[in-house]
Amino acid sequence: MKAQGTVHKYGSNVDTDVIIPARYLNTAVHSELAAHCMEDIDADFIKKVKDGDIMVADKNFGCGSSREHAPIAIKASGISCVIAASFARIFYRNAINIGLPILECEEAASDIKNGDELSVDFDSGLITNITTGKSYQAEPFPPFIQNIIAKGGLLNSLKDRM
């Protein structure tokens, strides 16, 4: 699996309240969640984001409440992948379980700038910054996790076993 797109860059400790504010949790409709994604720290995000774009952030991305709505909102906004220096534990689980590709890479997270063009290869964990020509190696996911993401989430990936 590969992704290519423009970077939307954020700092450390982006919490799930910022990703999708609690006042919008009364809906489970993915497109409605996406419409408010990131609005408290980046009001124009949803207008700027194009299908396939990539989110890059610093440490502890997705901290705070355990809401599965947060990765759902990011995925539904068109983001193809989130790269961060580190993720909060429950966000990390939830992202994989709902089929949002994520990669941990400290060097990439600190180097890459807003607006850079990236390509990401999930099989190898290779991140290439097309704008600067620099590349980074993230730890790739083992095949069974890649399979969860490729199938669009944990429950879909298990269909043949249920």
Partner 1 sequence: MAMTMTQKILAAHAGLSEVKAGQLIEAKLDMVLANDVTAPVAINEFEKSGADKIFSTTQISLVMDHFTPNKDIKAAEHCKKVREFAGKYSIKNYFDVGDMGVEHALLPEKGLVGPGDCIIGADSHTCTYGALGAFSTGVGSTDMAAGMATGTAWFKVPSAIKVTLTGKKAKWISGKDVVLHLIGIIGVDGALYRSLEFTGDGLADLTMDDRLCIANMAIEAGAKNGIFPVDETTLAYVTDRFEREIKVYEADTDAEYDEEIVIDMSTLRPTVAFPHLPENTRTIDECGEVKIDQVVIGSCTNGRIEDLRVAADIMKGKTVAPGIRCLVIPATQKIYLEAMKEGLLEIFINSGAAVSTPTCGPCLGGHMGILAKGERAVATTNRNFVGRMGHPESEVYLASPAVAAASALTGVITDPENV
Burial class (CB in 10 A: 0-12, 13-18, 19+), 101: buried
- Shortest spacing between CB 109 and partner 1, in angstroms: 17
Nearer to partner 1, 6 or 156 (CB): 156
- Shortest spacing between CB 113 and partner 1, in angstroms: 27
- Shortest spacing between CB 140 and partner 1, in angstroms: 10
Nearer to partner 1, 43 or 162 (CB): 162
Q: Which backbone phi and psi does 101 adopt, to 5 degrees?
A: -65, 135
Q: Sort residue 39 into left (φ over 0), alpha (ψ -120 to 50) or beta.
A: alpha
Residues 6+ apart with CB under 8 A from 143: none
Residues 6+ apart with CB under 8 A from 131: 113, 115, 116, 117
56 C-beta neighbours (distance < 10 Å), count? 26
In the complex, the residues that contact partner 1 under the rule CB under 8 A are: 66, 68, 88-90, 92-94, 96-98, 139, 141-142, 144-145, 148, 153-156, 158-159, 161-162
- Shortest spacing between CB 68 and partner 1, in angstroms: 6
Nearer to partner 1, 54 or 96 (CB): 96
Nearer to partner 1, 27 or 132 (CB): 27
